[in-house]
Chain A
Amino acid sequence: MTRHFSLLSRLLHWLMAILILAMLFIGVAMVSSLSDYHRLVSIHKPLGILILILVAIRLVNRLFNPAPSLPAGMPAALRFTAHASHWLLYALMFALPLVGWGMLSAAGYPIVLIGLLHLPPILPHDAGLYAALRPLHTVLAFVLFATFLAHLGAALMHAVVFRDGVFQSMTR
C-alpha cells in the first residue's frame, strides 16, 4: 500500500498551493486598490488560466495516481470531512477560473492573457449574466479561501497533533 503521494502529485500540489494562495491575495488586493488595480488584474487573468490548465492535469493525474489511503484508525467523520473537503477544493479550482472567464465574456471584455495571446469568449455578452457571475466569483473566492484555511489547519493537525503520517504523505 502506498504511504505517500506520487512525485507528480506532490509537485502539482505544492506548485498549485503557491499559485492559488498568491491568486487569492492578488484578487482581494486588486478590488480594493486604485493604484495597483491594473498591475494586479494583468497578473490575475493569465494566472487564473494557468491554474485552470494545472487543475485539469491534476484531476487526470489523480485518476491515474490515487491518493494514499487514510489511516485505518481515523474516525469515519474525519475521513468523510477529509474526502469532501478535497473534492470541494477540486470543484473550486475549476469553478473560479471558469466563472472568471465566463464573467469577462459576459461583460464583453477582450480576454487578454499576455501580449497578443487572447482567449475566445465562453458566454454571450449579456448584462444579466455578468451581474450574476461577478458576485459569484467573489463568493466562491471567499469559500475557496475558507476551505484553504481549513485544509491548512487540518494538515498541521496531522503533522503535529495526530502525527499519523498523513502530512508526510504530501511532504516526501
Chain B
Amino acid sequence: MPNIPASSRPDGDPRYTLASLLAPPQLVRLAAIGAVVGAVAASFAWTGGFFSPDRLDQTRMIDAFEAANGPHPGFRRNHAKGVCLEGYFDSNGAGARLSKAEVFQPGRVPVFGRFALAGGLPMIPDGPTIVRSMALNFSLPDGEAWRTGMNDIPVFPLRTPQAFYDQLVAAKPDPKTGRPDPQLLAAFQAAYPETVRATAVIRAHGFSSGFANATYNGLDAFLFTSAAGTTTPVRWSMEPVDAFAPAAAAPTADRNYLFDALIARVHDAPAKWHLILTVGQPGDPTDDATQPWPPERERIDAGVLSVTRIVAEGDGNCRDINFDPLVLPDGIAPSDDPLLSARSAAYSTSFTRREGETKIPSAIQTARRP
C-alpha cells in the first residue's frame, strides 16, 4: 500500500475501517505490533521482578520481619521500641582532613535522632542484652542531611541481606513451642560461619549498663572524600563521655528501666559522645561488617555530640523520619558493603508501610516529666 497522506483523501477514508484492518496482510502487521508492545510490557514486568517472586527483595525482607514479630501497625519493623532525642554536634574540624562534608568543618550543627532497642517488638520489656541503637540526623546547611543508624555492638552479626533474611526465618518462634526451632538455628549457623564468629566477638565485648554510657558503632564502612579529592574508607562510632559500667545480669521490675534511666540522665545534664572516625587501611574489609578492623587503626576524634532532650515519639518528630543510612552529605559515600543498599531499601519499605498505618502511643512516654 503506498504511503499517501490521508489528508488528501476524502472523509471516511477506508484504511481506518474495521474491514480493511481484518484483511490478511494487515492482520500480520497488527500481530507484529502486538508482539512489539507485548515484548516491552514483558521486559518491564521482568525488570520489576514480577516473574521471580522468590527473589529476596525489600518486600520479602519486611514481610519476614512481620512474620517473625507479628503485626505491630504504626511501628518500625525493626528497632520498634524507641524514643526521640534532640541535641547538637560540635565539630572540632579534625574530620575535615578525611571528608569535605560540611559537618566536619569547625562549628555546631543541630541534631535530632532516636534511641531504640533492636527487634521488631514495640512493647518489649527492656533487657540487659538487647542491642541498643542510636539513630541520628545531622541537619546541615542548604537542606543537606547526614543520617546514620548505629548499634552498641562491635561488629554486625550478618554479612549479607540473604544472611539477615535467613536468620529472621530461622529464629522465628515455632507456634507450638514459642521458641525458635533448634534444628533451623543449627542449620543457619552451619551456613553462616561468619555469624558465629561475629556473635562470639559481640558476647566477649559485653553490654554497658545503660543508653548513656554505651558506644554506638556505625559498623558498615563508608568512603570519605576530602576537599583534595582523596578517598579513604572509614568506620565511625559514638563513644560516650559517661564511664562504661557493665550491664546488670537481670532487668529490674520497671519494664522501661533503660529508657527511664536515659530520660533521667539527660534531664540532669546533656549526655555526650565523641564522634570517632576510624581510618581504614588497604586490605581492611569494607564489604564485611562482621569483621572488626585491626585495633591499631588511626582514630580521629571529630567532635562532641550533646543530647540535650529526650521526647516521646509523636507526629512529625523522629517517629516520622526514616533514618536511611544512605542519606549522606557530599563528602561521604557508601562503600561496597552489601548491607548498605539493602538497609536503605528495606527501611524505605518499612517507612512506607508504617506511615500509612494508624498510630498508637509508643511504650516510652516523656510528657509527665518536666
Q: Which residues of A contact B (CB under 8 A)?
A: 1, 3, 24-25, 28-39, 41, 69, 71-75, 78, 107-112, 115-116, 118-121, 125-128, 130-131, 134-135, 145, 149, 152-153, 156-157, 160-166, 168
In the complex, how many angstroms separate the beta carbon of A108 from the nearest chain B beta carbon?
5
Q: Which residues of B contact A (CB under 8 A)?
A: 1-7, 9-13, 15-16, 21, 26, 29-30, 32-34, 36-37, 40-41, 43-44, 47-49, 55-59, 61, 142-145, 161, 315-316, 320-322, 324, 326-327, 330, 334, 338, 340-342, 344-346, 348, 351-352, 355-356, 359
**A/B interface sample: 9 pairs, CB < 8 A:** A25-B43, A32-B59, A33-B49, A35-B161, A109-B327, A131-B352, A160-B29, A163-B1, A168-B3
Please report the C-alpha to C-alpha distance between residue A73 and residue B20 in the assembled complex, in whole angstroms: 14
Check B29 against A71 for contact (C-beta < 8 Å).
no
Please report the C-alpha to C-alpha distance between residue A36 and residue B145 in the assembled complex, in whole angstroms: 22
Residue from the list A31, A72, A131, A135 in contact with B7, Cβ < 8 A: A72
A38-B334, A41-B344, A165-B3 known; 8 new pairs, CB 8 Å cut-off, are: A29-B48, A35-B342, A37-B348, A72-B7, A73-B12, A134-B355, A164-B13, A165-B4
In the complex, how many angstroms separate the beta carbon of B157 from the nearest chain A beta carbon?
18
Residues of A within 8 A of B321 (CB): 108
Residue from the list A116, A165, A166 in contact with B144, Cβ < 8 A: A116
Residue of A with least CB distance to B34 = A153
In the complex, how many angstroms separate the beta carbon of A82 from the nearest chain B beta carbon?
12
Best-surrounded residue of B13, B16, B321, B324 (most CB of chain A within 10 A): B16
Check B16 against A75 for contact (C-beta < 8 Å).
yes
Residue from the list A120, A127, A157 in contact with B143, Cβ < 8 A: A120
Residue of A with least CB distance to B145 = A110
Residues of A within 8 A of B145 (CB): 109-110
Residues of A within 8 A of B315 (CB): 127
Check A74 against B6 for contact (C-beta < 8 Å).
yes
Given contact pairs A73-B6, A73-B12, A149-B37, A34 touches B1 in the complex (Cβ within 8 A): no
Check A31 against B58 for contact (C-beta < 8 Å).
yes
Please report the C-alpha to C-alpha distance between residue A134 and residue B6 in the assembled complex, in whole angstroms: 44
Please report the C-alpha to C-alpha distance between residue A160 and residue B32 in the assembled complex, in whole angstroms: 10
